[in-house]
A and B are shown apart, each in its own frame.
Chain A
Amino acid sequence: MSCERYWREGILRVEHGELDPHRDTCAECHHAHDLRAELVRALPLVGGRDTGDPSWEARVWNRIARLERPAAARRWLGGSLAMAFAAILTCWAIGHHPDNDAERFATPDHAQVEILHGDVAMRSTTAEIGDRVRIAVKPTEEVRVYCDARLVLRCSAGFRDRGCVTEGGGLVAELRLAAAGDYRLVVITSATADPVGGLVGDLAAVVAAGGEYLLTELPGP
């Protein structure tokens, strides 16, 4: 004799988290419950050993970078034109070239990034293991560097990892590229929040705190 009661009614009780006194007295229903438990144990394994493309995270970052490039280019062009205009006006007005440290940190939405090969500083799109990356921002901003979405350097007025210094009126963060990886620079320009673990979660925390940030790809080995 087959008791289909379990599959008709008993299972809904189980999903509701209710007790089913009938099951304790019915061997068929008890067996059916065991079968269900076997299915439930196997369901987390559906697709369990296939984790897809091993480089999927890098592909996601590439897609994000592609999405951001046009906006960044527009910002850069707009910022460059405004700065050029301001420089011409300044030269005309006071008759000297505005080349000082204050200008270096005056760029509102761009950190200054240099790659240091040994003692040589250069703007470069490539870096090797052992090179150092040097980032200069305004003293009120916070610098974070992530490698493969993990925080590896954090510098701000209130929090300084090794490699963070105040220099020329700005905040300078320097990091030795010790390992190959996907390096991302985050400059937090207004209200910040403590890291919660991982790039995406950290950015969400900053946004939740009402902060703003800029995220760019760093040349990595």
Chain B
Amino acid sequence: MTRYGDGVYRYAMAMTRDRHLAEEIRQQVFVQVYRDLGNVGDPASLPTWTFGVARHRCLDAVNARARWTQRYKNEPPEDVEQIDSAPDADLDRYRLARILAACLAKLAPAARDAVLLRYQQELSYDEAAAIAGELPGTLQRRVARSMPLLRKCVEATLQSGEP
């Protein structure tokens, strides 16, 4: 739990943009991991399996929120404000990460998922594909299509002078 807990939380946070939901997902994931340990054949596959559970929980949550928003015309949750306490040298990178978090939320869930597994969790395409149940090439195309969108979104945010 200690080894993968933060990774699962940050992934859920980036997928849902909701701190409470991300925390709930993290706890549900590890309860499920514990409950279904008997289904894990090889302990080495535990991280892949854990992120696979996390991915399903996140996509369920994202889809449920989309249905809710559509039905009741509620606004999506406000962007989570993050506290900046890093040294100056890191500020630009963290600012970019904060902008990226908002831009990621504008991608389709499957594209967001592919980008996060590959570049936030720093998994190989083979590992990410095993988690997503897709072919590596499919994820590569999703990421390749998403990166220009992220670039445009980041540039637009920076030009608008938003934090």
Contact = CB atoms under 8 A, between A and B. Distances in A.
Residue among A46, A53, A203 having the largest count of chain B Cβ atoms under 10 Å: A46
Residue among A11, A36, A39 having the largest count of chain B Cβ atoms under 10 Å: A39
A76 interface: no
A41 B74 CA distance: 34
A57 interface: yes
A57 B34 CA distance: 12
B136 to A, nearest CB: 9
Q: Is the interface of A mostly helix, strand, loop or mixed?
A: helix
Interface residues of B, number: 54
A207 interface: yes
Interface string A1-26: 00000011001101110000000000
Contacts of A67: 31, 35
Contact of B119 (A7, A44, A49): A44
Given A7-B147, A16-B140, A198 B2 contact: yes
A70 interface: no
A39 B33 CA distance: 32
Given A12-B140, A60-B27, A204 B43 contact: yes
Interface string B102-123: 0010000000000110011010
Contact of B147 (A11, A51, A203): A11
A214 interface: no
A200 interface: yes
A45 B37 contact: no
Given A12-B140, A60-B30, A67-B31, A46 B14 contact: yes
B1 A198 contact: yes
B27 A63 contact: yes
B3 A198 contact: yes
Interface range for A: 35 or more
Interface string B86-108: 10000001101100110010000
Q: 6 closest A-B pairs (Cβ-Cβ)?
A: A45-B97, A43-B119, A7-B148, A12-B144, A47-B13, A15-B140
Interface of A: 7-8, 11-12, 14-16, 35-36, 38-53, 56-57, 59-60, 63-64, 67, 149, 196, 198-201, 203-205, 207-208
Given A39-B119, A48-B94, A208-B41, 16 more contacts: A15-B141, A35-B151, A39-B100, A42-B93, A43-B120, A45-B94, A46-B120, A47-B14, A47-B82, A47-B101, A49-B82, A50-B10, A50-B13, A50-B19, A64-B31, A64-B35
27 contacts: A11-B148, A12-B140, A14-B144, A15-B140, A15-B143, A42-B97, A43-B115, A43-B120, A46-B104, A47-B10, A47-B14, A49-B85, A49-B86, A50-B9, A50-B80, A51-B6, A51-B9, A53-B23, A56-B9, A59-B27, A60-B31, A198-B1, A198-B2, A200-B33, A200-B34, A203-B37, A208-B43
